[in-house]
């Protein structure tokens, strides 16, 4: 077995160890081509130090380009994937630079005979599975070995010991204690190795049976997960003079402080990179949600330092983001005017294509233990980049958001001071009191919500077009409920007043409880909840009546646009079912808090048993109705989908620039909504922002329409039957990418983060499995129609003119006849997604109450009545107000506790922040603080799959 320290592994050991053929080709050449002819002129001998520290001599013409020398080095090693590597040397300014492939050797090396070039890894891919040859991974392993020993790859002791164990497994083979210890005492692989020898040996003993190639693979598997993997730091300072370092990776430009990454600028966010003298400039795409300036400036040691780093940035961007080598241009957009530098060589995608083509022609099979499954090249996707201008990820990032912000001024709210706080402290502090107070505050909101429905009832009752059956159903359901809960609210208010000691008419101790009030009223509520499972009939009848009567449809739309209707109308219709769940949760908290001997425990337990029985009976209906309500809501946000929620077959119309209309039968009443959100779709124009909608049998993808309605226009559909899904970041060099492979069409998309990608892939895989259990494609889809309606996106669909985009921006800035702050639009603007599980949690988890709010740069606190529901906080001056003054959608926000440096110095404060937007809120007790944190997290933190889709399935059919 060959050791890494052999005298000449490149000429014998490496190739023999890996079983490489004599010569397959040279990595930087296109298939079928031979090395270029050496130009005439004086020859010079160039010394190249290899990755195992051996040196090789190459005879070359001084007039030859850097590429000729590099090709000779790769040919010498039989290296096919040479494009990941480069030759670096120390120039006359004592700076390490990469040999330029285009320029002649004589113009780069002043004293060629006295210069040693180092063969090294230049481009570090995010996943070593993208490296298709064992020889390439072996060379990468040697690079990691160098980086470890030099300290360029810092890591914790456990990771260091694990990597060394893989290195020595490839060098000396299976573990034998005395040999291993002796080897580690005579060879130093990491700084401060001695204290870790026992740990290294322990790991090495677990590697028995690993071949050298497998050890290389495992070494890279550990290394690629480290923060400093492939990072080459370039010293710099920010505008304040803080010492930093810049680096470049496949994702974009990174900023480090010491060895800690403190910032990252993704290629999709960067519009231009340039340098002016000592200043390195990063020009970002305009984004109103970002706290960054349009242009970021870093000061480096010299102009040459800037230029060296700028060059490697240009090359990294081209290698990982472009699909083919950029053609030379006189004045490329990315560069400053004085530079003619461009990336020369194949991109990562071209390397992968070439290696696979070589394997087909020569019969060579890669021995990779974990080769990437597929490349997706058959999809015909091309980047279409015409220059090195950085790809646009989301042109809408610079458009003003239509979302309402909670910018209440001081005149709209009451300031509180220490006297208010002292007065509050006189109230009871028992946890049971605050649980009871939550019942009071949420009941106030619930009664207001019932009044919204009774107002709607009055509006439709006066309309002749409304069927009598619909009028009677609404009246018979909500009028008794409103009357009952108005009385219940009055009782709760009286009980809390007594509990707080604001009345001396009764003995105080007898009224510090709430269970008796709840038990009595829940028993009285039972007759009114008996028919709540028929709420779905009300939703269906209302939808059907609107389809028949344009006048009624207009009436409903106009009512929904009123300020009092702060959430979708159909959510109000489901409120009675949600309220029963709230009673159950409140009683569960009381029973958990009380001791069994408490005077209130028995009544609370009896009330809990009563409400649990009703909730359990209605649970299946609630799941179906929430799904149905969401389909109704989506219908209003989509253009091109007809009859989305009508029983039987419905049609999806795909309009191609006012040309042909194609109809695909897609949905039935049992259609289940699963997830919606923003993804970037790969097309001939690069990555374009699209809104995706996942249902139980199909995926729709849309773009924001150019109409004044703020709706989304359907571009295409992908049936789930027969679909497969795979991660595709490796194939396309696009972070967080995955491919949806359908029977008729395949689509490559990219998520905004790893978490988003994982959520999408999990839901799609589950939906695909669900689709398999159905009766085949004919039960959900008319395959004869689909044959004619594959809906591949052509340029006419994808191309949005500047006029179109301008019209889209204008439509968002003016009042429109359709709400522009639904969750679809929030997901669009904040580049995120939401599942049906999240929707259910967001409408079922509600909270109301007074909070004190403070802006980031203000001094005083404002007292507001705040309602949480449907992923948003709604702000009122008081609980008596009929409609909110402002709202704050929470998707994308994070909720935390303020740090000491923020100087809040108050109890029970939580902080909401999204990019540069920061808000502080104070609650009155530990219990209310915990509850606000709990419900807000339900809207900001990705939910666990509390309801498995398959369990929903049983209720939907």
Per-residue pLDDT tens digits for 632-648: 888 888 887 765 665 44
**Is the confidence at residue 844, as pLDDT, over 50?**
yes
The structural architecture, per CATH, of the domain 673-773 is Roll (2.30)
Task: Name the strand (E) or helix (H) holding 496.
Answer: helix 468-499
Q: Mean per-residue pLDDT for 11-33?
A: 36
The angle formed by the CA atoms of residues 810, 812 and 817, to the nearest 5 degrees, is: 110
Question: Can you give the residue ranges of every domain in the chain?
Answer: 43-224, 233-326+341-346, 432-639, 673-773, 846-951
Q: Across the chain, what does the average pLDDT equal? A: 77
- Tell me the β-bridge partners of 661: 655
Q: Which residues of 643-661 are buried (b: 16+ CB within 10 A; e: fewer)?
A: ebbbeeebbbebeeeeeee
pLDDT score at 670: 56
pLDDT score at 915: 77
Cβ-contact 946, 837 below 8 angstroms: yes
* 36-45, 319-328, 815-824: segment of lowest average pLDDT: 815-824
**Is the confidence at residue 885, as pLDDT, over 70?**
yes
The two tokens of residue 67 are 């590429």
Q: Which residues of 280-290 are buried (b: 16+ CB within 10 A; e: fewer)?
A: bbbebbebeee
> 880 or 782: whose pLDDT is higher?
880
Q: What is the DSSP string of 884-895?
A: -SEEEE-TT-EE
**Is the confidence at residue 482, as pLDDT, over 60?**
yes
Could you say which DSSP state residue 556 is in?
Answer: H
Q: What is the rounded CA–CA span in Å between residue 323 and residue 166?
A: 34
Q: What are phi and psi of 941, to 5 degrees?
A: -100, 135
* 73-87, 254-268, 313-327, 396-410: segment of lowest average pLDDT: 396-410
Task: Name the strand (E) or helix (H) holding 221.
Answer: helix 212-223
Residue whose C-alpha is closest to residue 155's, from 198, 109, 196: 196
> 1 or 455: whose pLDDT is higher?
455
Q: Exposure of 482 by Cβ count < 10 A (0-12 exposed, 13-18 middle, 19+ buried)?
A: middle
pLDDT score at 934: 92
* 415-429, 445-459, 800-814, 901-915: segment of lowest average pLDDT: 800-814
**Is the confidence at residue 424, as pLDDT, over 70?**
no
pLDDT score at 420: 52
Cβ-contact 411, 833 below 8 angstroms: no
What is the dihedral sign for C-alpha 357, 359, 363, 365?
negative
* 174-178, 296-300, 454-458, 913-917: segment of lowest average pLDDT: 913-917
The highest-confidence range among 323-332, 846-855, 910-919, by mean pLDDT, is: 846-855
Tens digits of per-residue pLDDT, 237-253?
998 889 999 999 998 99
Query: Is there a common fold for 233-326+341-346 and 673-773?
Result: yes
Q: What is the rounded CA–CA span in Å between residue 867 and residue 88?
A: 62
**Is the confidence at residue 890, as pLDDT, over 50?**
yes
**Is the confidence at residue 220, as pLDDT, over 60?**
yes
pLDDT band for 293, please (50, 70, 90 cuts). Answer: low
Alpha helix stretches (DSSP H) within 752-901: 754-772, 777-780, 783-788, 795-798, 802-813, 823-830, 836-844
Cβ-contact 375, 221 below 8 angstroms: no
- Tell if the pTM clears 0.85, that is, is over it: no
Q: What is the rounded CA–CA span in Å between residue 441 and residue 846?
A: 11
pLDDT score at 603: 95
Residue whose C-alpha is closest to residue 664's, from 785, 557, 799: 785
Q: Mean per-residue pLDDT for 858-871?
A: 90
pLDDT score at 371: 31
The angle formed by the CA atoms of residues 427, 432 and 437, to the nearest 5 degrees, is: 60
Q: Exposure of 415 by Cβ count < 10 A (0-12 exposed, 13-18 middle, 19+ buried)?
A: exposed
Cβ-contact 85, 139 below 8 angstroms: yes
**Is the confidence at residue 859, as pLDDT, over 90?**
no
Contacts of 58 (CB under 8 A, 6+ apart): 45, 46, 48, 69, 72, 73, 76
**Is the confidence at residue 294, as pLDDT, over 60?**
yes
Alpha helix stretches (DSSP H) within 549-600: 550-560, 569-573, 575-593
Contacts of 692 (CB under 8 A, 6+ apart): 675, 676, 677, 678, 679, 699, 700, 701, 702, 749, 760, 833
Q: Which CATH fold topology does 432-639 show?
A: Dbl Homology Domain; Chain A (1.20.900)
Report the share of the chain in percent with pLDDT over 70.
74
Contacts of 527 (CB under 8 A, 6+ apart): none
Cα 193 to Cα 170, 185, 188: the distances in Å are 18, 9, 7
**Is the confidence at residue 328, as pLDDT, over 60?**
yes
> 372 or 111: whose pLDDT is higher?
111
- The length of the chain, given as a count of residues: 957
Q: Mean per-residue pLDDT for 175-187?
A: 93
pLDDT band for 944, please (50, 70, 90 cuts). Answer: very low
Cβ-contact 273, 285 below 8 angstroms: no
pLDDT score at 622: 85
* 55-69, 125-139, 235-249, 288-302: segment of lowest average pLDDT: 288-302
Q: Mean per-residue pLDDT for 736-745?
A: 90
Q: What is the rounded CA–CA span in Å between residue 55 and residue 52?
A: 9
Tens digits of per-residue pLDDT, 752-804?
889 999 999 999 999 998 888 765 443 343 233 333 333 333 332 232 222 23
* 14-18, 159-163, 490-494: segment of lowest average pLDDT: 14-18
Q: Which residues of 548-574 are buried (b: 16+ CB within 10 A; e: fewer)?
A: ebeebeebbeebbeeeebbbbbbbbbb
Strands 116-121 and 43-49: parallel
> 510 or 473: whose pLDDT is higher?
473
The two tokens of residue 531 are 């028919």
Cβ-contact 306, 335 below 8 angstroms: no
Cβ-contact 863, 876 below 8 angstroms: no
Q: Mean per-residue pLDDT for 39-45?
A: 82
* 258-272, 648-662, 813-827: segment of lowest average pLDDT: 648-662
CATH top class, domain 846-951: mainly beta
Could you say which DSSP state residue 104 is in?
Answer: B
The single residue listed with the structure tokens 């739309």 is: 557
Sheet containing 651-655: which strands, arranged edge to edge? 641-642, 651-655, 661-665
* 269-278, 499-508, 785-794, 852-861: segment of lowest average pLDDT: 785-794
pLDDT score at 789: 35
Q: What is the rounded CA–CA span in Å between residue 369 and residue 211?
A: 10
**Is the confidence at residue 24, as pLDDT, over 80?**
no
Q: What is the rounded CA–CA span in Å between residue 858 and residue 861?
A: 8
Q: What is the DSSP string of 323-382?
A: SSPPPP-SS-TTS-TT------S--HHHHHHHHHHHHHHH------TT--S---GGG---
pLDDT band for 335, please (50, 70, 90 cuts). Answer: very low
Q: Mean per-residue pLDDT for 185-205?
A: 93
pLDDT score at 501: 77
Distance of CA 19 to the CA centre of its chain: 42
pLDDT score at 374: 30
pLDDT score at 373: 30
Task: Name the strand (E) or helix (H) holding 265.
Answer: strand 260-266
pLDDT band for 926, please (50, 70, 90 cuts). Answer: very high
* 467-481, 483-497, 793-807: segment of lowest average pLDDT: 793-807
pLDDT score at 172: 93
Q: What is the DSSP string of 531-546?
A: TGGGHHHHHHHHHHHH
**Is the confidence at residue 18, as pLDDT, over 60?**
no
Task: Name the strand (E) or helix (H) holding 572.
Answer: helix 569-573
pLDDT score at 342: 67
pLDDT score at 826: 84
Q: Mean per-residue pLDDT for 162-166?
A: 96
pLDDT score at 668: 40
The structural architecture, per CATH, of the domain 43-224 is Roll (3.10)
> 460 or 664: whose pLDDT is higher?
460
Q: What is the rounded CA–CA span in Å between residue 227 and residue 424?
A: 49
Tens digits of per-residue pLDDT, 650-667?
334 433 333 323 333 333
Cα 561 to Cα 276, 494, 556, 564, 816: the distances in Å are 53, 35, 9, 8, 10
* 328-332, 346-350, 916-920: segment of lowest average pLDDT: 328-332
CATH top class, domain 233-326+341-346: mainly beta
pLDDT band for 289, please (50, 70, 90 cuts). Answer: low
Q: Mean per-residue pLDDT for 913-932?
A: 90
**Is the confidence at residue 297, as pLDDT, over 50?**
yes
- Tell me the β-bridge partners of 279: 276, 299
> 668 or 421: whose pLDDT is higher?
421
Q: What is the rounded CA–CA span in Å between residue 701 and residue 717?
A: 6
pLDDT score at 368: 37
The two tokens of residue 521 are 């009223």
Report the share of the chain in percent with pLDDT over 90.
39
Q: What is the rounded CA–CA span in Å between residue 272 and residue 290?
A: 17
Residue whose C-alpha is closest to residue 662's, from 500, 813, 508, 785: 785
């Amino acid at each position: 077995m060959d050791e890494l320290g052999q005298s000449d592994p490149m000429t014998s050991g490496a190739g023999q160890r890996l079983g490489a053929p004599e010569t397959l080709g040279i990595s930087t050449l296109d298939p079928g081509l031979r090395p270029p002819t050496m130009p005439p002129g004086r020859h010079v001998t160039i010394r190249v130090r290899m990755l195992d520290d051996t040196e090789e001599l190459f005879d070359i013409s001084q007039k030859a380009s850097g590429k000729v020398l590099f090709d000779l080095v790769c040919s010498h090693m039989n290296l096919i994937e040479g494009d990941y590597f480069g030759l670096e040397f120390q120039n006359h300014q004592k700076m390490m630079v990469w040999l330029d492939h285009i320029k002649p050797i004589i113009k780069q090396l002043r004293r060629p005979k006295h210069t040693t070039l180092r063969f090294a890894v230049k481009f570090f891919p995010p996943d070593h599975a993208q490296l298709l040859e064992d020889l390439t991974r072996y060379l990468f392993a040697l690079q990691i070995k160098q980086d470890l020993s030099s300290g360029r790859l810092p890591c914790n002791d456990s990771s260091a010991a694990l990597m060394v164990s893989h290195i020595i497994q490839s060098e000396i083979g299976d573990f034998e204690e005395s040999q291993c210890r002796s080897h580690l005492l005579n060879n130093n692989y990491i700084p401060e190795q001695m204290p870790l020898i026992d740990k290294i040996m322990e790991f090495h003993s677990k590697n028995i049976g690993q071949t050298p190639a497998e050890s290389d693979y495992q070494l890279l598997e550990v290394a690629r997960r480290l923060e400093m993997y492939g990072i080459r730091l370039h010293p710099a300072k920010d505008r304040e003079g803080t010492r930093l370092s810049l680096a470049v990776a496949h994702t974009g430009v990174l900023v480090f402080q010491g060895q800690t990454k403190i910032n990252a600028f993704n290629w999709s966010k960067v519009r231009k990179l340039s340098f002016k003298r000592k200043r390195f400039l990063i020009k970002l795409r305009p984004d109103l949600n970002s706290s960054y300036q349009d242009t970021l400036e870093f000061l480096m040691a010299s102009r040459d330092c800037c230029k060296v780093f700028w060059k490697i940035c240009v090359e990294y961007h081209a290698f990982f983001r472009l699909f083919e080598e950029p053609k030379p241009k006189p004045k490329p957009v990315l560069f400053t005017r004085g530079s003619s530098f461009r990336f020369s060589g194949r991109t990562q995608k071209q390397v992968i294509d070439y290696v696979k083509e070589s394997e087909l022609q020569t019969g060579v099979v890669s021995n990779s233990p974990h080769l990437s499954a597929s490349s997706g090249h058959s999809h015909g996707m091309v980047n279409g980049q015409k220059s090195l201008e950085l790809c646009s990820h989301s042109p809408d990032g610079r458009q003003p958001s239509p979302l309402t912000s909670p910018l209440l001024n001081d005149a709209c709210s009451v300031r509180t001071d220490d006297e208010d706080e002292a007065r509050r402290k006189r109230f009871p502090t028992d946890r049971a009191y605050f649980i009871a107070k939550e019942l009071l505050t949420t009941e106030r909101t619930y009664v207001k919500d019932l009044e919204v429905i009774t107002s709607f009832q009055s509006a439709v009752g006066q309309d002749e077009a409304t069927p009598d059956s619909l009028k009677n159903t609404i009246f018979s359901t909500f009028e008794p409920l409103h009357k009952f809960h108005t009385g219940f609210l009055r009782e709760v208010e009286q009980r809390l007043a007594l509990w707080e000691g604001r009345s001396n008419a009764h003995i105080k101790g007898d009224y510090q409880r709430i269970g008796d009030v709840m038990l009595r009223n829940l028993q009285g509520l039972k007759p009114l909840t008996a028919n709540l499972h028929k709420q779905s009939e009300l939703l269906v009848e209302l939808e059907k009546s609107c389809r028949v009567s344009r006048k009624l449809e207009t009436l409903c739309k106009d009512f929904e646009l009123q300020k009092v209707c702060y959430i979708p109308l159909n959510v109000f219709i489901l409120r009675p079912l949600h309220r029963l769940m709230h009673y159950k949760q409140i009683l569960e908290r009381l029973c958990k808090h009380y001791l069994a001997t408490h005077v209130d425990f028995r009544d609370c337990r009896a009330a809990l048993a009563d409400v649990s029985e009703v909730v359990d009976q209605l649970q299946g209906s609630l799941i179906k109705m929430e799904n149905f309500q969401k389909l109704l809501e989506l219908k209003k946000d989509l253009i091109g989908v007809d009859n989305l929620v009508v029983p039987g077959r419905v049609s999806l119309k795909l309009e191609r620039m006012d040309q042909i209309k194609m109809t695909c039968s897609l949905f039935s009443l049992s259609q289940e909504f699963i997830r919606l959100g923003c993804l970037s779709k790969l097309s001939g124009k690069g990555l374009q922002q699209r809104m995706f909608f996942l249902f139980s049998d199909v995926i729709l993808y849309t773009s924001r329409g150019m109409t004044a309605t703020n709706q989304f226009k359907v571009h295409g559909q992908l049936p789930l039957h027969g679909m497969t899904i795979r991660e595709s970041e490796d194939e396309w060099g696009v972070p967080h990418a995955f491919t949806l492979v359908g029977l008729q069409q395949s689509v490559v998309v990219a998520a905004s983060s790893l978490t988003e990608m994982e959520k999408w892939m999990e839901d799609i895989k589950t939906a695909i499995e669900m689709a398999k259990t159905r009766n085949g494609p004919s039960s959900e889809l008319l395959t004869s129609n689909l044959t004619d309606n594959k809906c591949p996106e052509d340029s006419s669909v994808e191309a949005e003119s500047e006029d179109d985009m301008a019209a889209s921006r204008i439509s968002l800035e003016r009042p429109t006849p359709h709400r522009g702050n639904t969750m679809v639009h929030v997901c669009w603007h904040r580049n995120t997604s939401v599942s049906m599980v999240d929707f259910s949690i967001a409408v079922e988890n509600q909270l109301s109450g007074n909070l004190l709010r403070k802006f980031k740069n203000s001094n005083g606190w404002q007292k507001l009545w705040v309602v949480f529901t449907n992923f948003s906080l709604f702000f009122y001056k008081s609980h008596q107000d009929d409609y909110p003054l402002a709202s704050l959608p929470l998707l994308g926000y994070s909720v935390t506790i303020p740090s000491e440096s923020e100087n809040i110095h108050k109890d029970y404060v939580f902080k909401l922040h999204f990019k540069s937007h920061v808000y502080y809120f104070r609650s009155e007790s530990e219990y209310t603080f915990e509850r606000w944190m709990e419900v807000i997290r339900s809207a900001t933190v990705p939910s666990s799959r509390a309801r498995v889709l398959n369990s929903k399935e049983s209720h939907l059919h």
